[in-house]
Amino acid sequence: MLDLRRAASRNKPNSLSNRMRARRFKLFQGLVSRMPGSPLHIIDLGGTNEFWERRGWAGREDVRITMVNLAAGERLHANIEPVQGNVTDLRGFADGSFDVAFSNSVIEHLFTFEAQKAMAAEARRVAGAYWVQTPNYWFPIEPHFRFPGWQWLPVSVRVALLRRRRFGSRGPCPERDAAVRAVTEVRLMTRREVAECFPDATIWGETFFGFRKSWVAYAGFPEATQRSTVAGPAAASQPGDATRSDE
């Protein structure tokens, strides 16, 4: 039987979650490998040092990463600059300031569809290309609360449950306001909503046991025939070579 806690663990390198994250990143590397010029300038919306360390990109001289979070983290690597900011309002960065806007499982943490659209607009504005990943609303196991069908329950039911016990990495939250915030912070997206936020994107659907587990919206990368001076370790097959999801 699948242990959801172990499968979703970020701390275990061989967990299902980390294996799928690594596989997705190989696809991203394939797209980036087509981009000319060096160093490559990336804005990471809501990322962590740990993510880039595990991917082998921390400390690279041919990549510069600006990492935006509500609270700027500690600077641990010469090529990764943590800055304070709001991913829905990047007014401190001019149009086209970066080569790539990157985001992994962040856009679903913005409470409302309006905020998700604002983040998408900023990602498209500040970079010439973007890669934004988010879990699929219709995947049967909610990845944050690790409970089958959690996202389909009424908010009032989810709040009541979270006030009583722990679900995934959240709870219990005895105080109602804290429970409401924890529940409503996570707003999973359908493919249609992702496409509305990123109208010029290819939407790639990551599949797990026949179900679409997550969506990746990407655009602005050169065609496969164009070569690059930037190639990460273990660059692999491209999303464009995979089956495109048109669900």
Q: Averaged in consecutive runs of 10 residues, what is the pLDDT profile of the chain (247 residues)? A: 51 66 91 91 97 96 97 95 98 98 98 98 98 98 97 98 97 98 98 98 94 96 52 38 34
Q: What is the CATH number of domain 17-139+187-241?
A: 3.40.50.150
| Domain ranges across the chain | 17-139+187-241, 145-185
Give the per-residue pLDDT at 37: 82
Give the pLDDT score at 185: 98
Phi-psi region of 226 (alpha: psi -120 to 50; beta: other; left: phi over 0): beta
**Nearest partner of 145 among 111, 128, 170, judged by Cα:** 170
Q: DSSP string of 86-149? A: BTTB-TTS-TT-EEEEEEES-GGGSSSHHHHHHHHHHHHHHEEEEEEEEEBTTSSEETTTTEET
- Distance CA(199)–CA(88), nearest Å, equals 17
Give Cα separations from 190 to 17, 101, 205, 214, 216 (angstroms).
20, 21, 11, 9, 11
| DSSP assignment string, 169-232 | TB----SHHHHHHHHHH---B-HHHHHHH-TT-EEEEEEETTEEEEEEEEE-PPPTTS--S---
pLDDT score recorded for residue 99 = 97
pLDDT computed for residue 244 by the predictor: 32
pLDDT of residue 17: 66
